[in-house]
Amino acid sequence: MEFQIAKEELIRALSRVQGIVEKRSTNPIIANVLLDVNEKGMQVSATDTEVSFVGNYQVECVRPGSLTLGARQLFDIARLVPTDQVRFSLPEGSAQMEISSGKAFFKVIGLSSKDFPSMPETSDGYSISMPSSSLKALVDKTLFAISSDDTRTGLNGAHIEVDKDNGSSHLRFVTTDGHRLAVCGQNFDAGDADLPDSVLLPKKGLAELRKLVEEGDGAWQVSFSQNQAVFQQDTVSFSMRLLEGEFPDYSQVLPGDWQRRVLVARETLVLALRRVSILASEKSHPVKFVIQDGSLTIQAKQPEAGEASEEIEAQVEGGDLEIGFNARYFLDVLSAMASDTVCIEIGDSLSPCLLKPGEGDDDELYVIMPMRLE
């Protein structure tokens, strides 16, 4: 195995896999990347056995071959090599990759590519096409609400559903941790996606997917098999194993009729919440919303520290109300949104509160549970 690669191309390949490889495993090979070189180029594979990545990169191949090498160490080398071109050479029968660049020389001990886990097959099943920006929105608007509580496996991922009832074809992500819920749908251009009964995408996979789709424009092919979701674009294939938990029937917690509706400028509410919550307890950040005709006043109070309050302009429909929230939950939702205004629909002081963009007709909504204040 022998090849030459541009430093920038090598960095690009290796930076992509740093979040995927797993260093703290009993199986050391999954901390490695598999480099597979032939005349067509270099295929770089990485997996933690749940989330997997395969990408193709340009190299000048002298002699084909394959080996796995420590992903972190190779990335450190790639970033620091002194020349624009890096030469890799693996003597026949050896597992020691020789890497040279200018006067710098490395001999890195690898593990045989035969022991590397096999990558998930690309699904031949249903597949849809979706722009980067739509996939990015789906993840950005829902990732924060996924539960980190390992005892609630059904909440540890994003629930996916396809909605073709309303004339347009929608792929929808739903997430919740029991305190708040996020729902976001995006149109898809073409294709068909008869989903398996339950599709639950893991948090780590979605966080890596976000990095991938942030990189550029263009459409992604998304397909689902019984246990994998696969995202493909040009030279890259990214897949994640579906979680096995069962997502709850979230339609039951979506509030129906509202009794008060408040329309406020989103950024104004964000800043007021940040300021007032300085005086809220650090444990659950409790703040009180005082809703009156024409205004929303946010208040916080701690007996030993003091209090804060701020009134902001609001269009209010319905009667006066006081209701408590965890300020952090509200800020998470407001940060996921992009609209200028936000519409808050409330029943009474103990019922779930619905947030959605104040303008536009996006398939995007959030539910936040209120909290009892002293």
Would you count residue 305 as binding a second copy (CB under 8 A)?
A: yes
The CA-to-CA distance between both ends of the chain, in Å, stands at 69
Rounded to 5°, the CA angle 285-347-178 comes to 50
Would you count residue 311 as binding a second copy (CB under 8 A)?
A: yes
Pairing of strands 2-6, 60-63: antiparallel
Would you count residue 312 as binding a second copy (CB under 8 A)?
A: yes
- One of 63, 80, 91, 359 touching a second copy (CB under 8 A): 80
Would you count residue 275 as binding a second copy (CB under 8 A)?
A: yes
- One of 70, 205, 286, 347 touching a second copy (CB under 8 A): 70
Would you count residue 115 as binding a second copy (CB under 8 A)?
A: no
Nearest to 226 by CA among 197, 247, 203, 249: 197
Tokens in use for 356?
A: 């959605």
CA–CA separation, 262 and 282 (whole Å): 27
Closest distance to a second copy from the beta carbon of 97 (Å):
8
Q: HSE (CB half, 13 Å, CA atoms) of 159?
A: 23
- Residues in a beta bridge with 239: 52, 230
Would you count residue 293 as binding a second copy (CB under 8 A)?
A: no
Q: Residue 278 or 350: which CB sits closer to a second copy?
A: 278
Would you count residue 274 as binding a second copy (CB under 8 A)?
A: yes
CA–CA separation, 145 and 163 (whole Å): 21
Within 8 A by CB and 6+ apart from 156, the residues are 146, 147, 148, 149, 150, 200, 202, 203, 243, 245
Q: Do the beta carbons of residue 194 and residue 126 sit within 8 Å?
A: yes
Closest distance to a second copy from the beta carbon of 5 (Å):
17
CA–CA separation, 52 and 60 (whole Å): 25
Closest distance to a second copy from the beta carbon of 40 (Å):
28
Q: Residue 13 or 81: which CB sits closer to a second copy?
A: 81
Long-range contacts of 104-110 (CB under 8 A, 24+ apart): 106/77, 108/69, 108/70, 108/73, 108/74, 108/77, 110/32, 110/67, 110/68, 110/69, 110/70
Number of residues that bind a second copy (CB under 8 A): 31
Q: Residue 2 or 161: which CB sits closer to a second copy?
A: 2
Would you count residue 86 as binding a second copy (CB under 8 A)?
A: no
Q: Residue 177 or 311: which CB sits closer to a second copy?
A: 311
CA–CA separation, 4 and 88 (whole Å): 6
Q: Residue 68 or 186: which CB sits closer to a second copy?
A: 68
Would you count residue 210 as binding a second copy (CB under 8 A)?
A: no
| Segment interacting with a second copy (CB under 8 A) among 57-65, 86-94, 98-106, 136-144 | 98-106
Would you count residue 192 as binding a second copy (CB under 8 A)?
A: no
| Segment interacting with a second copy (CB under 8 A) among 77-85, 159-167, 191-199, 348-356 | 77-85
- One of 310, 332, 362, 363 touching a second copy (CB under 8 A): 310
Task: Write b or e for each residue in 164-193: b if 16 or more Cβ atoms lie within 10 A of its Cβ, otherwise e.
Answer: eeeeebbbbbbbbbebbbbbbbbebeeeeb
Closest distance to a second copy from the beta carbon of 106 (Å):
5
Q: Residue 31 or 44: which CB sits closer to a second copy?
A: 31
CA–CA separation, 97 and 32 (whole Å): 13
Closest distance to a second copy from the beta carbon of 128 (Å):
43
Give the residues lining the site for a second copy (CB under 8 A): 70, 73, 76-77, 80-82, 96, 103-109, 271-272, 274-276, 278-279, 304-312
